[in-house]
A and B are shown apart, each in its own frame.
Chain A
Amino acid sequence: MTMPLDDLAELADEDLLARYAQGEPMAARVLVLRLTPRVLGYAARLLGDRAEAEDVTQEALLRLWRIAPDWRRGEAQVLTWLFRVVTNLVTDRHRARRRRGAAALDDAPEIADPGPGVVGRLIEADRMAALDQALAQLPDRQRQAVILRHLEGMTNPEIATVMEIGVEAVESLTARGKRGLAALLAGQRPELGYEDEADVA
């Protein structure tokens, strides 16, 4: 039986996926609208390239649709599972890039276009661009841990599931990643809006 859209929107991801597997057409719509921005945001931060992130997003979600009929409830959260797929897809792409020797400085990830906006938004975009550039310079695993913890708001056990490592390793990666970020951003305090006391004086 078809459930109204409003009621479907209140269901958990896993329940929606079960309804999708049963052929409920509106469940597909709700899942797409709910999951695509999250997956795209994570993929874009990992890759630093919107077009590539869109491809990864589509591929990750395609794998979700494929596995939906065989999804075992309670074993994993849908979003955690998707982030793990994205992480693996991005890792594969990074490896392929390195094999091609294309990971030169010129190929540094482009910052996603923030779109048209007023001056305030441009300043904010500059801050985000500086952060993204610094994130891109972190080692892969540290970058994944920092993004999942601080930008996606996941708990350490969830991150451990996504990265297929222990919780202690997550804590270590996150801490080292943040230290690395702080060092990388040190030279960009003005762009970030943090003036040195000496500058102010």
Chain B
Amino acid sequence: MTPRELDGMQLDTLLEAARLQNLQPSPALLARVMQDACEMQPQPALTPVPRPSMRGGVLMQILALFSGFGAAGAGLATAGLAGIWLGFAQPAPLATPVEAVSAVLQGAGDDAIDGEDADMVELIPSFDGWLAEG
């Protein structure tokens, strides 16, 4: 007598029972697989350093190009401006030593030197006099 085949429902029940049976991997297998995974894993990318923002328009961007020379540039600019200033600015007229001395002598002469004026010699001509006389 030929054995009777399983009907569809019986076979499905059996397959369902098998489906629910999970084969658990051994710790040794998990360790092997984990080791492979770690060895093959790419290294994380380095975090990029954020670049300073270029806000402030084109002028700031151009100035930023020379940012390394900022300190030296400031010094050069100051020296240049000072030179221009010294070249063009007229110095305030100063009393010459002769005038100062003579003023003192005149004030004192009224008391100390009777009737005689001291001779005045301009040892250092003034800038104005030099311009006028050449």
Contacts and interface: CB of A to CB of B under 8 A. Distances in A.
Given A36-B30, A151-B19, A57 B40 contact: no
Nearest to B23: A41
B19 A36 contact: no
A150 B5 CA distance: 19
B38 to A, nearest CB: 6
Contact of A127 (B12, B17, B44): B17
A128 B18 contact: yes
Contacts of A37: 22-25
A50 B36 CA distance: 20
Given A61-B36, A128-B18, A150-B15, 9 more contacts: A29-B34, A58-B36, A112-B23, A127-B17, A150-B12, A181-B11, A185-B14, A186-B5, A189-B4
Contact of A62 (B18, B36, B42): B36
Contacts of A104: none
Main secondary structure of the interface of A (DSSP, over half): helix
Contacts of B33: 32, 36, 57-58, 61
Given A28-B37, A65-B40, A185 B29 contact: no
Chain A contact residues (Cβ within 8 angstroms of B): what range?
35 or more
Interface of A: 20-25, 28-29, 31-33, 36-37, 40-41, 44, 50, 54, 57-58, 61-62, 65-66, 68-69, 112, 124, 127-128, 131, 146, 150-153, 178, 181-183, 185-187, 189, 192, 194, 196
Nearest to A179: B5
Contact of A44 (B2, B12, B23): B23
B37 A20 contact: yes
